[in-house]
């Protein structure tokens, strides 16, 4: 009986959190940012991962509350620890730009989170990781190209441009001007200004 009661309480708690998060989303869409933030925060403080991510967004962008990157990082961390892919990406960026601790530790943790988010199909994480591997503390060009290609194949024109640069300069792949031109053309067709300029050059 105690176990059944506990399970009912858990279901009730989760259902309330889901409802609060949905209400928050509806309020945000209607432009009622403060009400949205209140709903997200109530659900987040009950441990609901999606709401934790939404609270992080509110703090990062100052929607419905004061802008506070440290609090944004805290809520992204909460959601990331429950394997929320977009929170993993956002928290990784927070760690690289603002996080506490040594640069090496932050970098290592951020890369792990970005790889998890990239594996979950988050295009932004794939693109960020690709550039990080090309230009980071310990460049690994082949891995960089792999992630850039993943992002490019998901429709990211900037990553497609970077793949073109890799082929033009022989970074992580064998130098191939024809292949570089192909990627530049695809990127330019998707509206990338840098690719258009590179084609003209």
Q: Tell me: the pLDDT tens digits for 32-63?
A: 999 999 999 999 999 999 999 999 999 999 99
Confidence band, pLDDT 50/70/90 cuts, at residue 156: very high
Average pLDDT over residues 110-137: 93
Residue 121 CA to residue 143 CA, distance in Å, equals: 16
Q: Report, as an integer, the average pLDDT of 152-166.
A: 96
Query: Which single residue is written with the structure tokens 């594996």?
Result: 119
**What is the average per-residue pLDDT within 89-112?**
88
Query: What is the pLDDT, as a whole number, of residue 68?
Result: 96
Q: Which residue has the higher pLDDT, 13 or 77?
A: 77
pLDDT at 120 over 90: yes
Average pLDDT, the chain: 91
The label of the residue with tokens 């300029």 reads 197
> With 60 as the cut, is the pLDDT of residue 146 above it?
yes
CA distance linking residue 173 with residue 149, whole number of Å = 12
CATH number corresponding to 1-120 = 1.25.40.10
Where is pLDDT greater, at 83 or 13?
Answer: 83
- What's the confidence (pLDDT) of residue 101? 77
Structural domain spans, the chain? 1-120, 123-200
Six-digit token string for 82 = 């429950």
Can you spell out the DSSP letters for 84-111? Answer: -HHHHHHHHHHHHHT-SS-HHHHHHHHH
pTM of the model: 0.84
In CATH terms, are 1-120 and 123-200 the same topology? Answer: yes
Q: Pick one of 3.40.50.1100, 3.30.1490.100, 1.25.40.10, 1.10.3470.10 as the CATH number of 123-200.
A: 1.25.40.10
- Closest of 150, 147, 14, 3 to residue 82, by C-alpha: 14
């Amino acid at each position: 009986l105690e176990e059944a009661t506990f399970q009912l309480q858990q279901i009730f708690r989760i259902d309330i959190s889901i409802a609060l998060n949905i209400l928050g989303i509806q309020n945000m869409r209607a432009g009622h940012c403060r009400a949205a933030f209140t709903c997200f925060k109530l659900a987040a403080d009950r441990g609901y991962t999606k709401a934790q991510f939404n609270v992080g967004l509110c703090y990062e962008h100052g929607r419905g509350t004061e802008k506070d990157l440290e609090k944004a990082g805290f809520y992204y961390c909460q959601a990331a620890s429950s394997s929320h892919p977009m929170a993993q990406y956002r928290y990784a960026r927070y760690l690289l730009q603002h996080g506490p601790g040594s640069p090496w530790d932050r970098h290592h943790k951020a890369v792990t989170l970005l790889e998890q988010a990239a594996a979950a199909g988050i295009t932004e994480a794939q693109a960020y990781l690709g550039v990080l591997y090309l230009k980071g503390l310990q460049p690994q060009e082949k891995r960089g190209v792999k992630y850039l290609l993943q992002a490019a194949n998901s429709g990211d024109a900037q990553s497609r441009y970077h793949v073109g640069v890799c082929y033009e300069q022989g970074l992580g792949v064998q130098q191939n001007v024809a292949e570089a031109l192909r990627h530049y053309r695809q990127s330019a067709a998707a509206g990338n200004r840098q690719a258009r300029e590179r084609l003209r050059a």
